[in-house]
Amino acid sequence: MTEVGWRTLMLATQAGNVAAYRQLLTEVGPWLKRYYRNRLPTSMADDAVQDALMAMHQKRHTYDPAQPFIPWLAAIARHKWIDRLRAMKTRATEELPNDLAVLDHGEAVTSARSIELLLAKLKPAQAEAIRLVKLEGLSIEEASARTRQTQSLVKINIYRGLGRLSAMVRSSTDEF
């Protein structure tokens, strides 16, 4: 859904349309999940989403129809994120033992570097589409909005880019 679609649903919600309100909550949920997944520990993200949805419910009458919807939603999400961070600060922590094993991140770093080297060999539009959808987890619609490409073009760029990447990896396994 887009800004216009969510704004339309919110206006219908304020007018008392229950079905529009259910649809709005269903559609903003995944957006909130992505927002918190990148900012909070995984165990806290779902609770933060629920807190934000509750705050949205309680504050829905404060939405100004003359203003964009997404910044209003983002402000609520940000305030709930800050609340979660404050709660983490006051929570008692356990002292870590001195003999705690630390995982080697070398393989992950090497893999990430290899992916970046491969993506650099693609056309910029293909690399960006793959990076946004496959690596960052954006939807086709979100990647389309960010890149200003049609959704079909984003899909084509991903398909062709992945095909080229596959051919590059098959042809030279020693290079990376």
Q: Give 144-170 pLDDT, tens digit per residue.
A: 999 999 999 999 999 999 999 888 888
Whether the per-residue pLDDT at 173 is higher than 70: the answer is no
Non-local CB neighbours of 145 within 8 Å, separated by 6+ positions: 2
Residue type, position 176, single letter: F
pTM: 0.50
Q: Please give the domain boundaries of the chain with CATH numbers for all domains.
A: 3-90 (1.10.1740.10), 116-171 (1.10.10.10)
More confident residue, 100 or 43: 43
Rounded Cα gap, residues 153 and 147, in angstroms: 10
Rounded Cα gap, residues 23 and 160, in angstroms: 34
Highest mean pLDDT among 86-90, 162-166, 170-174: 162-166
Helix then strand count (H, E) for the chain reads 8, 0
pLDDT band per the 50, 70, 90 thresholds, residue 91: low
pLDDT band per the 50, 70, 90 thresholds, residue 41: confident
Q: What is the mean pLDDT of the chain?
A: 87
More confident residue, 116 or 132: 132
Rounded Cα gap, residues 77 and 46, in angstroms: 12
Tokens encoding 161: 């880019």
Residues 81-107 have a mean pLDDT of 74
Q: Dihedral sign for Cα 75, 80, 84, 90, please.
A: positive
More confident residue, 90 or 140: 140
Residues 107-113 have a mean pLDDT of 74
Rounded Cα gap, residues 71 and 87, in angstroms: 24
Rounded Cα gap, residues 131 and 116, in angstroms: 9
Whether the per-residue pLDDT at 104 is higher than 80: the answer is no
Q: How high is the pLDDT of residue 118?
A: 86
Residues 3-28 have a mean pLDDT of 92
Whether the per-residue pLDDT at 4 is higher than 70: the answer is yes
Rounded Cα gap, residues 136 and 93, in angstroms: 31
Rounded Cα gap, residues 173 and 176, in angstroms: 6
